[in-house]
Amino acid sequence: MIKISNSQTPWLEILLKFGFSNKPFVFENWATESWEARRKWVNLDGTPNVEYLKTTFGNSKVPIALENGDVISQSFEEYLDFGKSPEKYLKDWHFQNEFGTSCYQKLHPFLSRDFVNREKWTENRDENPFGDDYRFVYYGASGSWTKFHSDVVSSHSWSANICGRKLWIMVPPGKEHLFAGLEDIREKSEIFEENGVFEFVQEAGEIVFVPSNWYHQVHNLTETISINHNWINSTNLHLVFDFIKNRNSDVLRELKDCEDLYDRKEFEDQIELVLFADARLNKARFSKLCELVMESRKIQEGKFWKCDEHGEELHLCISHPKCHPKILKICSCSQNFCEKCLNFIESLEFSISRHFFSRAQDAFRRTAIDF
């Protein structure tokens, strides 16, 4: 696993090398050194500061995943006092919805371009195409683990260890079928190497980038707290589009026998309901997401970043490696956005969203009519 140890690595380099290439990496602990969670949630010996956590967040109701697959709710204080065990894993706690984002303050530029959690429309559930945020805190005892899976709706994810150590097992896209039906893929560890499956340990303070469609399995080697986001941006919007299109076809096939029970609009509405329940996104919501990005990225005339060869069609530019050197020359920003690189990324997000909004209108309409 590649670990980025140099805090001055240009974020545009990371964007091209890992974001658009859909490859995993790890930020070393410099990326979380300033976080409040790293300073206040952890004792000097690296263990969780349980007294601070109980005093500050103890009354919050948290979801606890049990070994049998059930999920129960209890207070955070109850979990800390009586619930911590390998069979009880605190997962998917919408911590930031309740307590805000002061726990991590400023994110690295690569992680901050987030259409799911960090836009004006994500502050209002009624406007948010996803219906809620996808920001979570996990707290697990040594020996707790997450079974083999990929992340929701072909999203990227990042996971920051506030304290503790985790063992990760990652499977490249296209190889997950080799482990179909398994909850613990270590049962077939003998085929890991030949199929590009790799294991690595995430240390305290490090952030793992999990790209879209990379199946993975995670084990807490010690008592561990992590902050996790699922996110979508310009680097994986095409994969989310493919996912929605494919799942839409699946739902159409599954509901085909019921089509005669509805008129055309009612049937489309049923497809959308099932698709959203299954995937947490549907055709209308994907299109709305693209529209929201386009509306928010209306850049002043003359400041739209253009490629000499591809003009404003930056979705074409970014897919041509020969264009990457000139993108890297825009600036060498590492921890902040200057006007030049901010103008570039907003232009890119506008172009890619416009492209997939257009493709969605065509593909989704034809899928419904021609099926």
- pLDDT, tens digit, 9 for 90 and up, residues 251-283: 888 888 887 788 888 888 888 999 999 888 999
pLDDT for 55-108, tens place per residue? Answer: 999 999 999 999 888 999 999 999 999 889 999 999 999 999 999 999 997 899
Tokens coding 120? 């004006």
Statement to judge: residues 118 and 132 lie in one domain: yes
pTM of the full predicted structure? 0.94
Partners of residue 232 on adjacent β-strands? none
Tell me how far apart the alpha carbons of residues 29 and 87 are, in angstroms, rounded to a whole number: 29
Contact 164, 222 (CB under 8 A): yes
Statement to judge: residues 210 and 274 lie in one domain: no
Q: Is the pLDDT of residue 369 over 50?
A: no
What is the arithmetic mean of pLDDT over 228-253?
A: 94
Tell me how far apart the alpha carbons of residues 63 and 73 are, in angstroms, rounded to a whole number: 5
Statement to judge: residues 222 and 258 lie in one domain: no
Q: What percent of the chain has pLDDT over 90?
A: 80
Residue 253: inside a domain, yes or no?
yes
Domain boundary among the residues 212, 231, 250 is at 231
Q: What residues make up the domain containing 110? A: 3-10+23-231
Those residues with Cβ within 8 angstroms of residue 323's Cβ, 6 or more apart along the chain or in another chain? 307, 309, 310, 317
Tokens coding 166? 């985790």
pLDDT at 124: 83
Contact 206, 160 (CB under 8 A): yes
Question: What's the longest Cα–Cα distance across the chain?
Answer: 66
Residue 74: inside a domain, yes or no?
yes
Statement to judge: residues 227 and 300 lie in one domain: no
DSSP 137-178: EEEE-TT-EEEEE--GGG-EEEEEEEES-EEEEEE-TT-GGG
Domain boundary among the residues 204, 231, 258 is at 231
Tokens coding 336? 């902040």
CB atoms within 10 A of CB 165: 18
Q: Is the pLDDT of residue 326 over 80?
A: yes
pLDDT for 154-167, tens place per residue? Answer: 999 999 999 999 99
Q: Is the pLDDT of residue 370 over 50?
A: no
Statement to judge: residues 246 and 355 lie in one domain: yes
Number of domains composing the chain: 2
Strand ranges across the sheet with 198-202: 145-149, 215-220, 166-171, 198-202
Statement to judge: residues 194 and 246 lie in one domain: no
Phi and psi at residue 345, to the nearest 5° = -70, -35
Q: DSSP class of residue 261?
A: G
Residue 362: inside a domain, yes or no?
yes
Strands (E), the chain: 3-4, 25-27, 61-66, 71-75, 88-93, 135-140, 145-149, 156-163, 166-171, 198-202, 207-210, 215-220, 224-231
Burial 191-211, CB ≥16 within 10 A → b, else e? ebeeeebeebebebbbbbbbb
